[in-house]
């Protein structure tokens, strides 16, 4: 490919998106650049503070539980108060609670504040995804979600490397650094992002029907099917940070070996997310989700046969391709199924599927590895991937091309453009922390 064609492809990948999207994208990148607590909590508690692995697992589990609780609450806030106020409240409270966590000494205080951090740090996700669906045209949403996911992974990759160096100097500096960057994210939201929540006029309110409540979401069978499939998929992907390090440690590999292998995931996402998304953007989402589920399940299942380090890296390559395809495609599907005036609640329910998986996956990995062996864990991922693929195939049969609502609403999306209401929206949840996973021994 020539330099000119590469430049043209890059321009096409980022063109046509509103300015508000890019400020939202920038806030996501800044937020993820400060991801210290989720990455280093276990090491901080065990190495720096001298607590047991069991206590560290409890604290990380409480952090995950906070995310489960806040997903639904934040979804309701996003619909009732608006996207911008929810993001501001979430980022400011996250910054303050993360800084507070760095000064906690008593075990009970550490556990309680970790729960609070989990709640606040997860609370912005439904609002971010709802705003993205508000301000981006339906035909551009897969690309927009992919770019946002790319920012998440780019920020996480940079923060992991920098935070590792910071942790060698001072863990407290890491906590304060995350707090500062999260508060900077709040400043960006306050200064640059207008509220995007669609405003109902009389005609739109009549067309929308009854108010969307959490019960409405739970009764939406097709959407709850997507939530269930998202849970299965996230159970698989979370094994990259939970089951894989434990299995590699048991096989005699060092933490450095695991770091090299799992780095393949971040590097590939940063390098391939945008070009792959350009390739899949207008292809059949049913086929993409089925194929990505199979790649995820059997990519992890291949780990059972990995011997040398390069073989582990090859398995990571396979399931990373699945992640690159699945993430924006599934978020686009969730957006299609979300009614305009219920995007926050729908986003919150979808976010919760990832948060619950972050709690269940470590327990699943620990139990299976301890009682049956790692090979059974990898076999289970193959089964889960097959189940998810079948589920996507069944769920999307006869799915209409448009979402549950089509109307132009009052209220601005980006840069004064009217916010469209073709009912499509939903979040992205990030990577799970190794809650309760045993540390990998050299």
Distance between CA atoms of residues 148 and 326, nearest Å = 14
Return the pLDDT at 204: 53
Burial of 394 (0-12, 13-18, 19+ CB in 10 A): exposed
Return the pLDDT at 430: 32
Distance between CA atoms of residues 219 and 231, nearest Å = 18
Distance between CA atoms of residues 83 and 255, nearest Å = 40
- Is-contact 403 323, C-beta < 8 A? no
Cβ count within 10 A of residue 356: 20
What separation in angstroms does the CA of 192 have from each of 20, 27, 98, 244? 8, 10, 24, 40
Distance between CA atoms of residues 293 and 309, nearest Å = 24
Return the pLDDT at 113: 94
Return the pLDDT at 165: 76
Distance between CA atoms of residues 229 and 325, nearest Å = 15
- Is-contact 313 267, C-beta < 8 A? no
Distance between CA atoms of residues 440 and 393, nearest Å = 38
Residue 370, CB-side half-sphere exposure with 13 Å CA sphere = 9
> For the packed helices 309-337 and 141-169, what is the interaxial angle rounded to 10 degrees?
130
Pick out the chain residues at pLDDT < 50.
405-442
Distance between CA atoms of residues 403 and 9, nearest Å = 29
Cβ count within 10 A of residue 330: 25
SS3 420: strand
Return the pLDDT at 440: 28
- DSSP summary character for residue 210: S
Every domain of the chain and the residues it spans = 19-421
- Is-contact 347 425, C-beta < 8 A? yes
Return the pLDDT at 208: 52
* Beta-sheet strands, E only, within 256-331: none
Distance between CA atoms of residues 150 and 57, nearest Å = 29
Return the pLDDT at 235: 92
- Is-contact 346 293, C-beta < 8 A? no
pLDDT tens sequence across 139-188: 888 888 888 888 888 887 787 777 777 877 888 988 999 999 999 999 99
Cβ count within 10 A of residue 207: 14
Q: Which of 29, 26, 33 is nearest to 180 (CA)?
A: 33
Return the pLDDT at 56: 78
Return the pLDDT at 3: 57
SS3 411: strand
Note the Cα 324 to chain centre separation in Å: 12
Share of the chain residues as helix, strand and coil, in percent rounded to the nearest 5: 75, 0, 20
Helix (H) or strand (E) holding 412: strand 407-412
pLDDT tens sequence across 78-87: 988 999 999 9
Under CATH, which number does the domain 19-421 receive?
Answer: 1.20.1250.20
* Phi/psi of residue 54, nearest 5 degrees: -65, -45
Helix (H) or strand (E) holding 244: helix 243-250
Its sign, for the CA torsion 268, 273, 277, 278, is negative
CA-CA-CA-CA dihedral for 17, 282, 225, 398, to nearest 10: 130
Cβ count within 10 A of residue 15: 9
Return the pLDDT at 292: 95
Distance between CA atoms of residues 423 and 408, nearest Å = 11
Distance between CA atoms of residues 325 and 323, nearest Å = 5
Return the pLDDT at 9: 57
Distance between CA atoms of residues 406 and 384, nearest Å = 35
Helix (H) or strand (E) holding 322: helix 309-337
Residue 163, CB-side half-sphere exposure with 13 Å CA sphere = 27
Per-residue burial over 93-113, b if 16 or more Cβ lie within 10 Å, else e, is bbbbbbbebbebeeeeebbeb
Distance between CA atoms of residues 230 and 354, nearest Å = 7
* Phi/psi of residue 199, nearest 5 degrees: -100, 130
């Amino acid at each position: 490919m020539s330099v000119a064609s590469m430049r043209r492809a890059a321009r096409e990948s980022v063109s046509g998106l509103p300015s508000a999207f890019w400020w939202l994208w920038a806030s996501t990148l800044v937020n993820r650049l400060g991801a210290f607590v989720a990455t280093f909590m276990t090491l901080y508690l065990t190495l720096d503070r001298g607590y047991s692995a069991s206590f560290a697992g409890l604290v990380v589990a409480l952090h995950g539980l906070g995310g489960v609780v806040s997903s639904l609450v934040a979804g309701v806030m996003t619909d009732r108060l608006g996207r911008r106020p929810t993001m501001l409240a979430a980022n400011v409270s996250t910054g303050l609670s993360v800084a507070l966590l760095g000064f906690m000494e008593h075990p009970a205080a550490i556990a309680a504040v970790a729960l609070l951090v989990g709640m606040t740090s997860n609370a912005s996700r439904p609002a971010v995804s709802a705003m993205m669906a508000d301000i981006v045209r339906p035909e551009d949403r897969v690309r927009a979600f992919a770019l946002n996911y790319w920012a998440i992974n780019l920020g996480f990759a940079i923060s992991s490397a920098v935070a590792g160096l910071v942790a060698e100097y001072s863990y407290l500096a890491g906590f304060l650094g995350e707090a500062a960057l999260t508060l900077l994210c709040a400043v960006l939201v306050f200064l640059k992002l207008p509220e995007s929540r669609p405003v109902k006029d009389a005609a739109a309110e009549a067309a929308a029907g009854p108010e969307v409540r959490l019960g409405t979401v739970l009764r939406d069978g097709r959407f709850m099917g997507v939530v269930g499939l998202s849970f299965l998929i996230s159970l698989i992907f979370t094994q990259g940070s939970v089951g894989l390090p434990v299995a590699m440690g048991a096989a005699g590999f060092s933490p450095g070996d695991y770091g090299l292998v799992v780095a393949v995931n971040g590097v590939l996402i940063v390098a391939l997310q945008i070009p792959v998304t350009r390739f899949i953007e207008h292809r059949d989402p049913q086929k993409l989700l089925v194929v990505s589920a199979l790649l995820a399940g059997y990519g992890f299942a291949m780990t059972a046969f990995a011997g040398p380090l390069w073989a582990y890296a090859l398995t990571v390559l396979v399931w990373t391709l699945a992640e690159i395809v699945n993430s924006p495609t599934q978020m686009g599907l969730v957006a299609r199924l979300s009614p305009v005036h219920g995007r926050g609640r729908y986003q919150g329910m979808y976010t919760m599927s990832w948060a619950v998986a972050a709690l269940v996956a470590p327990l699943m990995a620990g139990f299976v590895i301890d009682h049956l062996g790692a090979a059974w864990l990898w076999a289970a991922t193959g089964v889960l991937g097959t189940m998810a693929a079948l589920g996507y195939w069944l769920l999307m049969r006869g799915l209409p091309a448009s979402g549950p609502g089509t109307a132009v609403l009052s209220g601005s999306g980006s840069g004064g453009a009217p916010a469209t209401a073709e009912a499509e929206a939903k979040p992205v949840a990030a990577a799970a922390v190794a809650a309760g996973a045993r540390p990998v021994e050299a």
